[in-house]
Chains A and B, each alone.
Chain A
């Protein structure tokens, strides 16, 4: 393939990945990795390097908008980030002793199983307001944001312990498999901590960038971040993320959850196919 064609293909795919990723709180690796390995025949190491770049670009690109709109809950994100970063370091340290195939199979199965509780609350626009108690009260894990029609949405987080445990697992998976595991982060916040869906996805957006940055150095120094691949990915993702963020602030929580459920199903299938050796 000639360079210009490779560039354009990857650039356009990355715009789509950036838009989708910024809406549902994932890094876009779900789209970027298979395009690179299956369609463009790129080595998996470069594909994972590109995925790290796409995660950081999605996160930072989306953040520039979300900080202004204040949907992201920085407190909840920072609290949970202690779990993901710790998990990621442990995961990277023990990766050599575990089989990626088994991990992918387990992760894929968890994602499929989590579709059940997710689908059960598919029509829920706002969670019923929880009582702020225990650790959540101590850390003041509550928040509010203003919808486009001017309504102020207030919420309290529940079960921060469960959420943190979920993030530790998400971090472990990131460290072990080199993926952002944004799906798992959104699931933990949506199902365990009962945050509004848009708060879960934008807060996940913040978190995936920090987790990916923690492991970016090693991929960069190893030579997995190839500029020919990362340039169209980064540029496409930044444009896509600015489109996605504009859509998200106007979107209904139910719409975001439906898109997320589809992405989750796709992500689970991809994991299981990977485990089966495709």
Chain B
């Protein structure tokens, strides 16, 4: 694979996207099967109560530390959350790799343009919302 060749960059982009999608699908499916084996006949109301006062919710993890500790005990909702984070990473990877694609095409204008989109994307993803995610 040559990072300077637009065609192979396009192939890499396709492979990364497909891997991200399949990986997140598999992780979410594993979490789902684990959840359903024990809770299929539960009433959903226990899982669907929405109470903004109790945020972050007790019933599922929303921070990286609680997800990672949940993963060690094979907690189904932590596994599903991890799958979602992998899915969330795919559009970011797509923009980041496009940067290399345009560099390979020697298209300077689009390298700057893509860098701007990536910066805005990372800023709004990480600036305020994820601070509680890392601390919680």
Q: CB within 8 Å of B: which residues of A?
A: 1-4, 6-7, 42-43, 45-46, 53, 56-57, 59-61, 63-64, 67-68, 70, 74-75, 78-79, 81-82, 85-86, 88-89, 92, 138-140, 206, 209-210, 212-223, 225-232, 234-235, 238
Contacts and interface: CB of A to CB of B under 8 A. Distances in A.
A135 to B, nearest CB: 11
B43 A139 contact: no
A85 B124 contact: yes
Nearest to A216: B88
Contact of A221 (B48, B90, B94, B133): B133
Interface of B: 10, 13-14, 17-18, 20-21, 24-25, 28-29, 31-32, 35-36, 39-44, 47-48, 50, 52, 55-57, 60, 62-63, 76-77, 80-81, 83-84, 87-88, 90-92, 94-95, 98, 101, 107, 109-110, 113-114, 116-117, 120-121, 123-126, 128-133, 136
Given A4-B41, A209-B94, A216-B125, 15 more contacts: A1-B44, A3-B47, A7-B36, A63-B90, A67-B17, A82-B113, A85-B117, A214-B121, A220-B129, A221-B129, A226-B48, A227-B80, A232-B32, A235-B28, A238-B25
Contacts of B41: 2-4
20 contacts: A3-B39, A3-B42, A4-B40, A60-B21, A74-B98, A81-B117, A85-B120, A89-B124, A138-B109, A214-B125, A216-B125, A221-B132, A221-B136, A225-B84, A228-B44, A228-B48, A228-B77, A234-B24, A234-B28, A235-B25
A43 B76 CA distance: 22
A221 B56 CA distance: 8
Contacts of B36: 3-4, 7
Contact of A78 (B29, B31, B55, B110): B110
A227 B81 contact: yes
A230 to B, nearest CB: 6
A223 B91 contact: no
A231 B91 contact: no
A210 B50 contact: no
Contact of B48 (A42, A81, A82, A223): A42
B32 to A, nearest CB: 5
A56 B91 contact: yes
Contacts of A238: 21, 25
A231 B36 CA distance: 11
Contacts of B123: 89
B94 A235 contact: no
Given A4-B40, A60-B21, A75-B110, A218 B98 contact: no
Contacts of B48: 42-43, 46, 226, 228-229
B20 A60 contact: yes
A209 B130 contact: no
B113 A3 contact: no
A218 B129 contact: yes
A89 B62 contact: no
Given A3-B39, A63-B94, A238-B21, A82 B116 contact: yes
Q: Which 9 A-B pairs have the closest CB atoms?
A: A218-B129, A43-B50, A217-B129, A227-B80, A209-B91, A4-B40, A227-B77, A67-B14, A60-B90
A48 to B, nearest CB: 11
Contact of A45 (B50, B91, B131): B50
A235 B88 contact: no
B25 A234 contact: yes
